[in-house]
Structure formats: C-alpha cells, structure tokens
Amino acid sequence: VTVRQVDVRAGAGDYPVMVGRGLLRRTAEVVAGRVPGVRRWAVVSDSRVAPLHGRIVHSALEAADLALDLLTFPAGERNKTRTQWADLTDRLIAAGLGRDGGVVAVGGGVTGDLAGFVAATFMRGIPVVQVPTSVVAMVDSAVGGKTGVDTPAGKNLVGAFHPPRLVLVDPDTVGTLPRPERAQGWAEAVKHGAIVDAAYLDGLAERAPALLDGDPETVLEAVLRSIEIKAGVVGDDEREAGRREILNFGHTVGHALEAQSGYRLPHGSAVSLGMVLEARLGEALGVTDAGTSDHLARALERFQLPTRLDGPGGAALPDALLLRDKKVRDGVLRIVFLARPGEVAPAPGAPAAWAHPVDRESVRSVLGPEP
Amino acid sequence: VTVRQVDVRAGAGDYPVMVGRGLLRRTAEVVAGRVPGVRRWAVVSDSRVAPLHGRIVHSALEAADLALDLLTFPAGERNKTRTQWADLTDRLIAAGLGRDGGVVAVGGGVTGDLAGFVAATFMRGIPVVQVPTSVVAMVDSAVGGKTGVDTPAGKNLVGAFHPPRLVLVDPDTVGTLPRPERAQGWAEAVKHGAIVDAAYLDGLAERAPALLDGDPETVLEAVLRSIEIKAGVVGDDEREAGRREILNFGHTVGHALEAQSGYRLPHGSAVSLGMVLEARLGEALGVTDAGTSDHLARALERFQLPTRLDGPGGAALPDALLLRDKKVRDGVLRIVFLARPGEVAPAPGAPAAWAHPVDRESVRSVLGPEP
C-alpha cells in the first residue's frame, strides 16, 4: 500500500496527514509510530459511522493492545452540543482514560469537531488523531486544528484550537457515503482550486463523475491536493490572523444563506452559492475578472451543486445575517474576493489583508432577486 | 504608585504580572496599554467579590469606554462547573461579546479557573486578564495558564491551558479577605520557599503576623517573590512535562487528604499537612535531610496551619486516593521530595525527573496514625 504524506505546520508542533487506501486497518501501527507516548486510545464515532469504520479502527487498535472504548453518539449536526461534549467526557473518565490517553475521531466534520473539543479540554488537553471519513472532513475540517460545538446562538461559538497529532485519510471510506453527501464535500475542494490553483479547479470539474462516484484513486489524488493547499494556508497562519482568511472565500454569503434557511440548506450547497455570488459581487466591484463567476458555476454544476438563487429563500438576504460574519470590523462587512480563478485579490492598503471592505448597497444590488 | 513587574514565559507569548497598590482603579490604562487589540472587556466576578472589587474594575473600564458587562456567578468551588461555564458563555454571547472582546477575571482561584476557561473556549479563545484578589490566586493560580472546571468525578478534569495576556495584582484587596482564608493562601507561598528559596521560607515565617493581618506592603513583597518563583518554574515548562512537577510538592498527599475529607478540608490546610508528611516520608526514605519536616512545620504553624494528622481522618489514608494522583505511572506512586528546605531532590536516574517512585509500604508506615 502506498501512503502519501503532507506535513502541516502548527504552533504546537508539525503533524502529518497520511493518505492511503486501506489505511484504517493499519491505524495501530501508524499511531504507535507517530504518537508513541499514548498508552490508550478511545475511539469516538457517530452512530452511523461507528459500525462502518469506527469499529475497524477500534479493532486495529485493540489487536495492538492500544484501545480503550469505542464511544458512539447520535449522528447529526444537532448533536454537536455542549451536552454531548460533557457526556462523552464523562464516559471517557468512567472508562479510565487518563492524561496518558488519547482520542481517535472517526467520522465526518461533526465528529472531528466534537471529539476534537473533548480531547482539547480533557484534563487540559490530550492528543487527538483525526480520521475523516467524509469528503468535507478530508478536504477541509480535519486539517487546521479547529474544534468546537454549536450553541443555541450559533455554530462553533464554543471551541478551541487543538491541532491533531496525526490525520489518517483512507479514501476507500468515501465509497460508503450517500452520493449527495459526496457532492457537498467537493464544494470545498472546488474552493481550494478557486483560491489557489486554477488547474486543480478545472481538473476537479473534469473528473466530477468519478469523484461523485467515489472512485478511490481519483478521490485520493483530489483529497491530497486539497490537503496540500489547506496545509499551505493554515501552516502560515494557524489562528486566522491573516492569510487563513482566504479559506473564507464563498463563506461570508454562504454562512448567511445557511442561517437564512434555518440550516436546512446544506453547507456545501451554501458555499457553492456563496462562491458564485461573491465572484459576481467581485466582478460588479471591478475586483474580480469578468467571467470568473460563470467559470466557477460551470465547475460546481458538474457536481450538481446549486449556483443560482432562484429559490424563494434567495429573494432577500438580510444584512443582519451577513453582518454576523466574523470578519466584520466596526460594523463593516468584509469579503474575500478572487482576482480570477485560482487567485485571490489582495485587499487594498494592507499588504497582508485579504478581506475587502464592502458597502451594503453593492451587496444588495448583487444579492437581490434574480431577473 | 510604584508598579513592579514579573514577566512569565509562555508558549503563546510572554505576559507580564504587574503588582502594585491601588492597581484595580488603573485597570483601564494598564489593559489598554498591554492588550490594545481588545475593544470590549467583560468582567467576571463571583457574588462575593463583585461588590467589593469587580465593580471597581468594571467602573475603571467603563470610564475608558472599554467595558461590556459585569457578570457575576454564585461564590464557591461547587459552582466551578460546566453548567456555570455554559451559562457565563451564553450571557457573554447575549451581551454581544465578539472575537475582538476579552474577559477580565476578578476574584479568587475559582473565578480565575472558571472565567479563564470561558475565555479559552469562547469562539476558540479570546484574551483573558487575571485579577486575583485572594492570596492563593495571587501567589499560585493566576500565573501559569491553567484554566478549568470540576466534574462529578473530580477537580479540574475539564479545562485548557490558556495563559492570561496580563495579570494585575493589587495587594490592597487582601485586606478584605477573612483572616482564615489569608492563612490558607500563605500555605502555597511557604511551598514556594520550601522548594526553591530557604531564605524566603524563613522570611515568610518571620512575617507571618503581618501577612495574616493582610498588611499591604508586607503582602506585596511576599506575593512578588512567590510570583517570581512560580514564573521561573512554569516559564521553563508550561505544560508540566518536567520541572513544573516540583510545584506538586505537598500536593500528592494533600490532594488525597482533601478527597478523603470530601473536600471539607481546605486546600491550604491539606497542602500544609501534605508538605510536612511528604517531608517526613522523604526523611524516612533517606532522600530528605533530617529535621526538614520539623522546619516546615514550625513555619506553617506560624500561619496557624495544621501540621499533624491527629484528627480522626488521619488514621488511614487509603492507597486508592493517593493513586489517583496525576503523577502515577503504571500504578506506581510518584512524589516530589525536598533535599532540604529550599531545594528539591532530583529523582534518581533521569536528569530532568523530579517525582520519585515510592512503594506503598513506605507510604503506609509514615501516613499511618500518629503514635
């Protein structure tokens, strides 16, 4: 089995992302080699992933006498809560996990965020290994060290930076996902191409059928390139003080659309719409080359992702939702724009600023109802 | 007003501890100078400290247009919970605190730990300024970056390392404490002398009457020396991988005694007993110079702290309680011993090890009932 590796720089020390087919069954040897100080690993998975992949990881660790329990929680974003975090923590304590223990998070973004936050706060922090099994977790959430839970007031309002000690990606797990969920994940990969690598963007569009099918070799190459791109960005700026902001492309509008829908609009669809609309806004403001939004829309449509606000929800995107964005400073909305496909446009003035201040009238003119 | 300063090294950046009489009223200017990026500070205090000192800090910030709310929670260690943490977090969100906000923790150890953990996890971490107003918080808990809450299974099982951006110490606040609480705090200062500085240890004993009275000038000098000692130790070893263990002197036995009492024995009393008993154990094992335990006991008695296990609780200290200690490895109890007053004894074998493995029989022979 060939294993490919990307190293991610982090304040607390670099960590490797290892990508290879069939890696789940080799969890024990990789973990023992890379994080030798940990005596017992607790595996955390949701109720959907535990029987598919969680137990494979747990069995591999058990065979090497490195396993504690396999803990499961009910699947779904609505369980990414402080209550579930406290419950998992108490179960780890009851199982006897100590300061010389660690957590392996096996699953999608919710599992990585929740189990990562459990590890971040367990006896003031124990190692976590991320084993993303969804496309979005592989290309996005498992790398970068963000962990956390939602509160009634909003998503990810409580959390911590807790970089994993190791990320294990087995592209074979993508085959078990429902097809629409795969499509959702590729939206973030398209974003990576859009901000950094036009050839990757076009390559994704070309290979969309195989990627939607979950063909492991095609998935492996795409995931690897996305991780390289994300690792390059977060390695320079772990805590989102500067260049990490470019990963927010598509997300200012995307998050607002998600909130507007009461979180019924899936995240990938929201980001897909957000990228096209932010590109259109950038074109209207003269920051983004003409044709960029159409270029993105064509790529996203290959993944059957939405690119037009024709639905009833699209008629009016209230300013208030946009102004909740974390990049807002002094009440001014700030958005990351592309210069063209594969390249972001630096913000005026500051050499290391990437989010452009935008007046609300311009936003309204673009985000109004379609003709 | 003279302000004295100690700088503490931390992984995320150094921070200053500023010590001076009347500093509380100058919170705004110090905070604005030292943590200029923060637009709004929320002040967190318990129900006892808020009317005494919390509102002074809040008023000072308000006058400089830097204040958000003054949030209070019910005083007492039993409120250092995840529930209280979630409640404070939700109130901060409701008050409009954002990623450009910060938390000022004004109070004793419980407030510092709880409000520090709120700041550590608020939107993945916002700055915290620690304003310790009890002796134990000044000499011990406000410096070092440990934050957290208790769970039903034990103390500080959930938490994070989140070094403050600034620590403000105003020794005038010590005058408002009940006298027995001051005595409790000086136990940790005696420990600092015991492990690092025999002259400081003896100076504390000599000045015990003024320190118990809360005389501000005497308090200032003692607090400053304790902070220097603690800063020197934690600066080398923020995450307790090595030398920070020496701060555990007196705490292996002390924590067990606390647990045995159902946490009715106050922490300072437990550490006082723990230091004398660990010194006696060290003498019995030939690691600690004869007479060290008596030397410590004389100093601690000047603060009216307990030094003898004559009570009914002293008759038998179950192994199980000692084995809960975080320094236990592979079921072996490990204890930090003094060589003599002012100096710890390095553990055999490892050059950077400070906790000595101890067999349970030796422990039982010393911790058995007094003759």
Which residues are bridge partners to A158 per DSSP? A149, B122
Q: What is the pLDDT of residues A304-336, one digit of tens each?
A: 999 998 754 444 676 777 877 777 777 788 999
Q: In whole angstroms, what separates CA B43 from the centre of its chain?
A: 20
Average pLDDT of the segment spanning A129-156? 94
What integer pLDDT is reported at residue A350 of this predicted model?
66
Find, among B265, B276, B361, B280, the residue nearest to B312 by Cα: B265
Q: Measured between alpha carbons, how far is residue B66 from residues A359, B35, B46, B101, B192 in Å? A: 27, 12, 21, 10, 36
> Comparing C-alpha atoms, which of A126, A209, A223 is closest to residue A173?
A223
B281 in contact with A at a CB cutoff of 8 Å?
Answer: no
Please answer whether residues A341 and A292 qualify as being in contact, where contact means their C-beta atoms are separated by less than 8 angstroms: yes
Q: Do the beta carbons of residue A120 and residue B117 sit within 8 Å?
A: no
The pLDDT tens digits of the residues spanning B58-101 come to 999 999 999 999 999 999 999 999 999 999 999 999 999 998 99
Does the distance separating the beta carbons of A326 and B125 come in below 8 Å? no
Q: What residues have CB less than 8 Å from B69, skipping those under 6 apart?
A: B42, B43, B91, B92, B95
What are the catalytic residues of A? 124, 146, 188, 230, 240, 244, 248, 251, 255, 267
- To which H or E segment does residue A68 belong? strand A67-73
Alpha-carbon distance values, A338 to A198, A289, A302, B30, B254 (Å): 11, 8, 21, 41, 60
The pLDDT of residue A351 = 66
pLDDT for B311: 54
pLDDT < 70 regions, chain B: 1, 236-241, 311-316, 318, 350-352, 368-371
State residue A211's pLDDT score: 98
Of B120, B146, B329, nearest to A160 by CB-CB distance is: B120
pLDDT band at A371 (very low <50, low <70, confident <90, very high): very low
- Angle (deg, nearest 10), helices A360-367 and A267-284: 120
| Range in A46-60, A254-268, B209-223 the model is least confident about | A254-268
Which uninterrupted H or E stretch holds B225? helix B216-236
**Which residues of chain A have a CB within 8 Å of the CB of B89?**
151, 157-158
B residues 117-176 closer than 8 Å to A (CB): 120-125, 146-148, 151-154, 156-161
Q: For A120-130, what is each residue's pLDDT tens digit?
A: 999 999 999 99
Strand partners, B357: B334
Model confidence pLDDT, tens digit, residues A220-252: 999 999 999 999 998 866 666 678 899 999 999
ipTM comes to 0.92
* Residue A149 Cα to chain centre, angstroms: 14
Q: If you average pLDDT over residues A151-170, what whole number do you get?
A: 95
Distance CA B217, CA B199 (A): 18
Q: Which residues of B touch A148 (CB under 8 A)?
A: 121, 124
pLDDT at A285: 94
A86 touching B, CB under 8 A?
A: yes
Chain A residues in contact with B151 (beta carbon < 8 A): 86, 89-90, 93
- pLDDT for the residue A311: 54
Cα nearest neighbour of A239 on chain B: B124
**Cβ proximity of B147 and B109 under 8 Å:** no
- Is the pLDDT at A37 greater than 70? The verdict is yes
Question: Rounded distance, CA B220 to CA B212, Å?
Answer: 13
Q: Output the pTM of the full model.
A: 0.93
Identity of the residue numbered A250: G
Q: Per the CB < 8 Å rule, is A158 touching B89? A: yes
CB A41 within 8 A of CB A98: no
Pairing verdict, β B128-132 and B166-169? parallel
Tell me which amino acid residue A308 is: R
Question: Given B82, B99, B157, which is nearest A93 (Cβ)?
Answer: B157
State pLDDT tens for residues B255-282.
999 888 888 999 999 999 999 999 999 9
Give me the pLDDT at residue B278, please: 95
